[in-house]
Amino acid sequence: MMKTDFKKFRLLRVVAVVLVAAACAGFVSCMMLIGGAIGAGFGILSMVGIGFAGAMCEYAAYDCLICPYCGQRAVKSHREFPADKENMARFKAIAKGDPFECVHCRRMINPSR
């Protein structure tokens, strides 16, 4: 069973954003510097490789959001559509370190500790 670790969640989210930005920058730079079909090929390879690492960091970050009281995920996946405002508010509260309410047991969780 995974454990609650909000600091690790914040760190992995930042790493995921940096990796995805690097993947986009790698694609653009390959297209600008090399150009043509070869540049597109290298750009797509860099985007897939680095982007996959970023996606894995995002999934690992989501695994850190276990409620310490009920043992289930404290938030719903932010990939669900349509995104509800309460769940997005939970993610923002976790990022800021503010208390938020678990989706399942409705107990307040303090992510700053």
pLDDT in tens, 2-21: 677 888 998 999 999 999 99
pLDDT band of 74, cuts 50, 70, 90: confident
For a pLDDT cut of 90, what percent of the chain falls above it?
Answer: 19
**DSSP-derived secondary structure letter, 54:** H
- Does residue 82 have a cis bond before it (omega within 30 degrees)? yes
Q: Is pLDDT of 31 > 50?
A: yes
> In this structure, are residues 103 and 75 in contact, taking their beta carbons and an 8 Å threshold?
yes
In 3D space, the residue among 79, 83, 49 whose CA is nearest the CA of residue 61 turns out to be 79
The pTM score is: 0.78
pLDDT of 35? 77
Structure tokens of 77?
């996946």
**Phi-psi map region of 21: left, alpha, beta (phi>0 left; psi -120 to 50 alpha):** alpha
